[in-house]
Structure 1
Amino acid sequence: MHPIFVYISLFLFLGAIGMHYGNRKVDTQTGQKRWLKFLTYIVIVSTVLAGIFLDRFDLVAIFISVVGLGEIIKIITKLSSRWFQLLIIVIYVAITFGFIYFSTSFDRSLLLFIYFQVFTFDGFSQVVGQLLGKQKLLPQISPGKTLEGLVGGTVFCVLSALLARNWVAFSMPKALLLGLTTASLAFVGDILASYLKRRCHVKDYSTLLPGHGGFLDRFDSLMMVGVGYSLLSQLRSLQ
């Protein structure tokens, strides 16, 4: 059995404990919504891992991109500027090309190494934010994001990179640097997706994923990380 299953199971267990204690601060209905989101997230993680291990992550990436495009088209109709609508579509299409390139050009071990970090950042930035979050980061764009959540997600993301470095034979300094890179890219993707929702005056991209704000709300960080690593790989090939 691949070590990623052990690590993800452990992190999900820790996340569940953190959510249990975090839910003591909120009402019952909010707590139930959080658990629904958590369970849906397990299904999402399982689907992505299945795609990687079956060497069909490209199909997963295409599916995410197409559904995401539908969500984008739906919400940008609320924008008054046609030029801004066109700009959003162009940017999104460029991102999807980078994401799909990432899904087809990286080997299984590297995909697992990267996805493990994205999974960890997404999960623990939320759990730590719910437990300890007090300092709002960008309340005008994403009211739920806190400095504590970002720091917690980054710390666990770097830890996951160090734990997984042997899968790709990376040195500790390189794994540390890539962990910080992944966390930064994931955060940027999350904030950009939140910014677009605010500009379009919508709370969610869609209701396709129970407990989540749509496909883009769940996969924004993974897509941006994929684009970032695709660009890094191209820059490295030019050297």
Structure 2
Amino acid sequence: MDKNLIQRLFSGAIYGLLIFLCTTDYGAKFINSLSPGLVKQEQLYYGLITFFVAVGAYESVKIMKFDSVLYRWLVLPLIALVYYKFTTRFFGHGFYFNYNLSEILALALIVIACITLFRFASELYYDEGKLIFTVIYVSLPFGFALGLPKFYEDTFTWEVFMLFVLIWSSDSFAYFTGRMFGKHKMAPKISPKKTWEGFAGGVFFTLILGYFIEQKFPELRGNWMVVGFLVSVFAPIGDLVESQLKRTFGVKDSGNILPGHGGVLDRLDSFIIAAPVVYLYFILEKLF
């Protein structure tokens, strides 16, 4: 078997296991079986998301090639401040939804950052633009991700893990459908391998998977056919956003933390866009 394939399979398995242990209640159960009372599941989840934020910030700085040493060193503390202030409502008192001005502003900023990347990329050649984009792109989406699970007493629900399952499935279904039937390019200059046929296949099969999740996991909030549809539409957009970012700055991979798979931003590009969208859906579903 090809050495690179073995490397990809091994690192992919480690990544999948890490996601499973930190986004379901099995992580804390396993650790506490070795040392009772050592961790709570939400602590593992906080740690995972915070790790993604830290590595994502580092990778974004590398991709965008900051010219100023001052701005380069300013990124991480500024991201930490925004991430903490935006997500502090999730710490210490479980998870809840409070549709307020800060969340509306955060969602709007993510949209504006993506539009800037595609339509006004020249603004990102200045360190000020790079700094603002990095703070928005890295800290806010992961901040929204902290609000996805329901946590109460000793229960930690599986919304985030199922979101990952849908993202992985959407990517896989789109890839295989595109390989078999793809003829019409979706964004040839940004991601030449993506096709509209693949996109349609990803939507169709992810909807089916969402239906099975809805039937098997009734304790999850929201309708998971709707979540499946949102993921199948917005996960490819997340992939295009990161592809455009790398294309703008002439970079192949965001990093090499996962041998054979690239960096954190490479693996989580779909999640970065899908998580805020699903969070918004959960808020609207609660309101109406």
State TM-score, norm by structure 1.
0.74
Q: Residue in 2 aligned with 1:204?
A: 253
**For residues 138-177 of structure 1, what are the structure 2 equivalents within 5 Å?**
138-169=187-218, 174-177=223-226
Partner Cα distance (1:38, 1:184) in 2:
27
Q: Residue in 2 aligned with 1:48?
A: 19
Q: 1:70 offset after TM fit, Å?
A: 0.8
Partner Cα distance (1:160, 1:75) in 2:
35
Partner Cα distance (1:52, 1:101) in 2:
12
Residue 184 (structure 1) aligned with residue 233 (structure 2): yes
Residue 74 (structure 1) aligned with residue 54 (structure 2): no
Structure 2 counterpart of 1:96, from 142, 152, 167: 142
Q: Secondary structure at the match of 2:136?
A: helix
Deviations, residues 48-77 of structure 1 (Å, cap 9, x unaligned): 111122232332222122111110011111
Residue 83 (structure 1) aligned with residue 54 (structure 2): no
**For residues 2-17 of structure 1, what are the structure 2 equivalents within 5 Å?**
none
Is the alpha carbon distance of 1:149 and 1:41 closer, same or farther for their aligned partners in structure 2, counting shifts above 3 Å?
farther
Whichever of the two has the greater Rg, that structure is 2
* Identity, % of aligned positions: 25
Is the alpha carbon distance of 1:160 and 1:102 closer, same or farther for their aligned partners in structure 2, counting shifts above 3 Å?
same
Deviations, residues 179-202 of structure 1 (Å, cap 9, x unaligned): 111111211211111111111111
Partner Cα distance (1:41, 1:153) in 2:
21
Structure with greater helix share of residues: 1
The 8 Å contact of residues 57 and 104 in structure 1, kept in 2 or not, is answered as: no
Structure 1, unmatched stretches of 5+, are 1-27
Structure 2 counterpart of 1:122, from 160, 165, 171: 171
Partner Cα distance (1:124, 1:44) in 2:
20
Q: 1:119 offset after TM fit, Å?
A: 2.1
Residue identity matched to 1:49:
F
Q: Secondary structure at the match of 1:143?
A: strand
Structure 2, unmatched stretches of 5+, are 28-40, 67-123
Q: Secondary structure at the match of 1:101?
A: coil
Aligned Cα root-mean-square deviation (Å)? 3.0
Is the alpha carbon distance of 1:128 and 1:58 closer, same or farther for their aligned partners in structure 2, counting shifts above 3 Å?
farther
Q: 1:217 offset after TM fit, Å?
A: 0.9
Q: Secondary structure at the match of 2:186?
A: strand
Count of residues paired in the alignment: 209
Deviations, residues 186-236 of structure 1 (Å, cap 9, x unaligned): 112111111111111111111221222321111111232222122223344
Between 67-76 and 79-88, report the one with greater CA deviation.
79-88
Is the alpha carbon distance of 1:219 and 1:160 closer, same or farther for their aligned partners in structure 2, counting shifts above 3 Å?
same
Residue identity matched to 1:74:
K
Between 181-190 and 84-93, report the one with greater CA deviation.
84-93
Between 127-136 and 183-192, report the one with greater CA deviation.
127-136
Is the alpha carbon distance of 1:36 and 1:146 closer, same or farther for their aligned partners in structure 2, counting shifts above 3 Å?
farther
Partner Cα distance (2:237, 2:151) in 1:
23
State TM-score, norm by structure 2.
0.63
Q: 1:136 offset after TM fit, Å?
A: 1.9
Q: 1:34 offset after TM fit, Å?
A: 5.9
Is the alpha carbon distance of 1:201 and 1:42 closer, same or farther for their aligned partners in structure 2, counting shifts above 3 Å?
same
Deviations, residues 2-21 of structure 1 (Å, cap 9, x unaligned): xxxxxxxxxxxxxxxxxxxx
Q: 1:124 offset after TM fit, Å?
A: 2.5
Is the alpha carbon distance of 1:190 and 1:34 closer, same or farther for their aligned partners in structure 2, counting shifts above 3 Å?
farther
Deviations, residues 116-165 of structure 1 (Å, cap 9, x unaligned): 21221122223333444333211111122222322222222112111111
